Structure 1
Amino acid sequence: MAYLPNIIFAIILIAGIGYFVKNVKALARNIKLGKDVDVSDNKPQRWKNMAKIALGQSKLVRRPVSGFLHVVVYVGFIIINIEVLEIIIDGLFGTHRIGLSVLPTALYGFFIGTFEVLALLVLVAVIVFWIRRNVIKLARFWKSEMTAWPKNDGNFILYFEMVLMTLFLVMNATDTHFQDLNSGNIISQFIAPWFSGMSETALHGIERTAWWIHIVGILVFLNYLYFSKHLHILLAFPNTFYGKVKPNGQFDNLEAVTKEVKMMMDPNADPFAATPEGTEDEVPEKFGASDVQDLNWVQLLNAYTCTECGRCTSECPANLTGKKLSPRKIMMDTRDRLEEVGKNIDANKGEFKDDGKQLLGDYITSEEIWACTSCNACVEACPVSIDPLSIIIEMRRYLVMEQSAAPTELNNMMTNIENNGAPWPYNQMDRLNWKNE
């Protein structure tokens, strides 16, 4: 039975990683429900964006306080988890601090000491985040779309990080062999006296308990990500790579519309030409988007990457003037609908069964999307290159081109352009009369 702990550890590790892989496959499947889009252009710029925005956190630090704290948590949490490699080896092979067997004591102490300092900084930063969210109650965390689950989700992650950092420090503080080395215990040496007077057996029991809860907690955290807004920890890198590289003010044209315009301008084109024999009439492509399957896969990746930080909404002029639009809600609704579609496919053996719902109408109202000024403030504010405006534009296209459901003001403008060649209700012959006034 000497190997029982190692067997239990292996089972937990395999189960944790296996469940994570299963969720990643479901995530990839859902993203691939979107239309194909060519994002193979400007690769040097895309790599630069990923390095600068996802790795370098360049957009986050525009707000110095929260940006600095986020960098501390991001860097600290990533670096500290390097030690997970040692924990996995120890758990599988029954060793204890295998790093001491392969590294000089001073070097090992340097690594663990660095981890301890970072763990303390992460703990402090997370506590400040909790205070900002729950005591100071920053307005962007308390918008109407931040219902019970989004608010709780943000706190759950903070609690996870608090517990994991505390367990790491307690694990080191109660490891008498590590403390006796007096190398690397930069922070834990001040925690060790809290356990003075305890027997060697009790200290070992606390250290082992902290060790087990720490590694199981990391596996739980890893699998919680799929259900959490913190999925951006993994998706920020591909999202910034595949993000928009064209100027924000440049919109994509619909290829189907472009073809029709070119045909209208071609004097030799015959719009009434018969379909070649042996072929079926092509089903016209839907203009715009009414559901998630009408969006492209990059837009669906955007939805999963959203961290619900609210920077987009806090910068949105429509939202600031009291209108119903919240770019954050657009992304949250898109992700929720995509999850619903994914569950529908799972329940129907890989096929989507019409559920009578769609993104536009059941999740996002026309009032929201027509409130948008197309200013790109949300796109500019997003710290991970999410583009809520592109989804709004696609739904607007659907309403105008498929449903003829544009607001009266826009219909009047488009009628004037069609009849007068300008947005104003004046005859073309009268357009220059202002010169004579």
Structure 2
Amino acid sequence: MLFERTFWWLHISGILIFLNYLYYSKHLHILLAFPNTFFANLDPKGKFVNNKTVKKEVKRMLDPNIDPYASLESGSESSKFGASDVLDFNWVQLMNSYTCTECGRCTSECPANQTGKLLSPRKIMMDTRDRLEEVGANITLNGSFKDDGKQLLNNYISQEELWACTSCNACVEACPIGIDPLSIIMDMRQYLVMEQSAAPGDLNNMMSNIENNGAPWPFNNQDRLLWANDN
């Protein structure tokens, strides 16, 4: 009887100790999997949210009843486009990083990774979590975040990784608990393009052609049908 009770209490004590350890270990995903799945993005895959500031600017240009030179309302402009560090992400994206079980399904399904590119969606989530923990320790130590000379972009995740992504959503589809590495990648890409003008050369050329010619090709739109005259 004593033998049975001893192991019963050892069993219960082990469970209680593990429950306290749970919050400080990688097993935290056991608890976060439920809210993460509940708050997962259920929009059709491939749908991207328009930037509110850019959308408002486009509407101002297209609406003949609005003075395009009038000043915008106070607070309507975005102070920063995209994300360069974890403080720029929303809370769902940060919860995604803590929910990751590191199973690697996203990376195994990633076509960029399969073709030898540097990108690994699993690493994207792990790097985000590592940086978030570093920022958390910084805030705990200083009371508020003090610039430590580092950020998620470049110090943890390279530009090569970001531009290797084809935005196919294979990683999102593969995740069993609805983690979305693509949203983090796209936010960081937006920062590179709109804040740093650091898009790859080919992409910059294409965007310049669209701006000047209305098409991705370096030809004037009035010359598009000249090929027909050759026949």
> TM-score, normalised to structure 2's length?
0.92
Q: d(CA) in 2 for partners of 1:275 and 1:305? A: 39
The equivalent position to 1:300 in structure 2, one of 94, 97, 110, is 94
Q: d(CA) in 2 for partners of 1:363 and 1:415? A: 30
Q: CA deviation at 1:307?
A: 0.5
Q: CA deviation at 1:435?
A: 4.5
Q: d(CA) in 2 for partners of 1:224 and 1:435? A: 73
* Percent identical: 73
Describe how 1:286-297 pairs up with structure 2 within 5 A.
286-297=80-91
The equivalent position to 1:398 in structure 2, one of 186, 191, 208, is 191
Report how many aligned residue pairs link the two structures. Answer: 230
Q: Which amino acid aligns with 1:308?
A: E
Aligned to 2:9: 212
Higher relative contact order (CA 8 A, sep 6+): 2
The equivalent position to 2:24 in structure 1, one of 199, 210, 227, is 227
The equivalent position to 1:238 in structure 2, one of 17, 32, 35, is 35
The reply on whether 1:376 has 2:146 as its aligned counterpart is: no
Aligned to 2:158: 365
Q: CA deviation at 1:356?
A: 1.5
Q: d(CA) in 1 for partners of 2:225 and 2:28? A: 57
Aligned to 1:188: none
Describe how 1:9-408 pairs up with structure 2 within 5 A.
204-205=2-3, 207-273=4-70, 284-349=78-143, 351-408=144-201
Name the SS for the 2:197 alignment partner: coil
Classify 1:285/1:275 alpha carbon distance in 2 versus 1 (closer, same or farther; 3 Å). closer
Name the SS for the 2:138 alignment partner: helix
Q: CA deviation at 1:208?
A: 3.6
Q: d(CA) in 2 for partners of 1:218 and 1:255? A: 48
Alignment deviations for residues 157-177 of structure 1 (CA, whole Å, 9 cap, x no partner): xxxxxxxxxxxxxxxxxx5xx
Kindly indicate which of the two structures has a greater share of residues assigned to helix. Answer: 1
Q: CA deviation at 1:406?
A: 0.2
Q: d(CA) in 1 for partners of 2:203 and 2:62? A: 25
Alignment deviations for residues 96-146 of structure 1 (CA, whole Å, 9 cap, x no partner): xxxxxxxxxxxxxxxxxxxxxxxxxxxxxxxxxxxxxxxxxxxxxxxxxxx
Classify 1:296/1:274 alpha carbon distance in 2 versus 1 (closer, same or farther; 3 Å). closer
Structure 1 runs not aligned, ≥5 long: 1-174, 176-203
Q: d(CA) in 1 for partners of 2:223 and 2:107? A: 43
* Rg comparison, structure with higher value: 1
Name the SS for the 2:29 alignment partner: helix
Classify 1:401/1:377 alpha carbon distance in 2 versus 1 (closer, same or farther; 3 Å). same
Q: CA deviation at 1:229?
A: 3.0
Q: Which amino acid aligns with 1:340?
A: E
Q: Which amino acid aligns with 1:386?
A: I
Q: d(CA) in 2 for partners of 1:363 and 1:228? A: 21
Q: d(CA) in 1 for partners of 2:170 and 2:76? A: 39
Q: CA deviation at 1:235?
A: 1.0
Q: d(CA) in 1 for partners of 2:22 and 2:8? A: 22
Q: d(CA) in 2 for partners of 1:238 and 1:274? A: 41
Name the SS for the 1:325 alignment partner: coil
Classify 1:211/1:340 alpha carbon distance in 2 versus 1 (closer, same or farther; 3 Å). same
Classify 1:268/1:409 alpha carbon distance in 2 versus 1 (closer, same or farther; 3 Å). same
Q: d(CA) in 1 for partners of 2:199 and 2:97? A: 26
Q: CA deviation at 1:401?
A: 0.1
Q: d(CA) in 2 for partners of 1:239 and 1:253? A: 23
> TM-score, normalised to structure 1's length?
0.50
Q: d(CA) in 2 for partners of 1:302 and 1:274? A: 38
Q: d(CA) in 1 for partners of 2:31 and 2:137? A: 22
Name the SS for the 2:196 alignment partner: coil
Name the SS for the 2:22 alignment partner: helix
Q: CA deviation at 1:222?
A: 1.8
Alignment deviations for residues 62-121 of structure 1 (CA, whole Å, 9 cap, x no partner): xxxxxxxxxxxxxxxxxxxxxxxxxxxxxxxxxxxxxxxxxxxxxxxxxxxxxxxxxxxx
Maintained 8 Å contact 2:113/2:120: yes
Q: CA deviation at 1:433?
A: 4.0
Q: Which amino acid aligns with 2:17?
A: V
